[in-house]
Amino acid sequence: MDRPISTTLQKLGISGAAQQVQARAVLEAAGITRTGRRNMAEEKETRARSLLTETLAFHCANAACRIRLDSRRDGRALILVERFACEVCEGSVNRASLERMAQAMADAGMSKIVVVGGHLPRHTTLRDVSPPGISWRLIDGTRRVISKDSASDLAWADVVAVWAAATPLAHTVSAQYTSHEKTIIVPQSGIAALADEVTRYASLHRRRDSDD
Ligand SMILES: [Zn+2]
Greatest CA separation for the chain = 71
Query: What are the extents of the domains in the chain?
Result: 2-85, 93-204
Q: Separation of 200 CA from ligand 1 center, angstroms?
A: 19
Reported pTM: 0.81
Distance 142 CA to ligand 1 centre (A): 34
- Domain 93-204, CATH 1.10.357 — does that match? no
- What is the identity of the amino acid at 134? I
Q: What is the pLDDT of residue 209?
A: 55
Residue 71 backbone phi and psi in degrees, to 5: -75, -15
- 74 close to 57: Cβ distance less than 8 angstroms: yes
Render the burial of 94-120: b for 16+ CB within 10 Å, e for the rest.
bbbbbbbbbbbbbebebeebbbbbbbe
| Distance of CA 186 from the midpoint of ligand 1 (Å) | 24
pLDDT of residue 148: 84
In this prediction, residue 208 carries a pLDDT of 66
Tell me, in angstroms, the distance from the centre of ligand 1 to residue 212's CA.
33
Which residue ranges in the chain fall short of pLDDT 50?
210-212
- 192 alpha carbon to ligand 1 midpoint, in Å? 14
Q: Distance between CA 206 and CA 200 in Å, rounded?
A: 10
Coil vs helix vs strand at 182: coil
Span from the CA of 24 to the centroid of ligand 1 (angstroms): 22
Q: Determine the distance separating the centroid of ligand 1 and the alpha carbon of 184, expressed in angstroms.
A: 26
* Span from the CA of 59 to the centroid of ligand 1 (angstroms): 6
Distance 92 CA to ligand 1 centre (A): 8
Distance 1 CA to ligand 1 centre (A): 33
User: E strand or H helix at 71, and its extent?
Assistant: helix 63-72
At a CB cut-off of 8 Å and minimum separation 6, what does 6 contact?
A: 20, 38
- Report CA(66)–ligand 1 centroid distance (Å): 7
Query: At 115, is the secondary structure helix, strand, or coil?
Result: strand
Beta strands in the chain (DSSP E): 2-4, 39-41, 56-59, 77-80, 112-116, 135-139, 159-162, 183-185
What pLDDT is stored for residue 196 in this prediction? 96
Tally of residues, the chain: 212
Q: Supply the pLDDT for residue 212.
A: 41
What pLDDT is attached to residue 65? Answer: 94
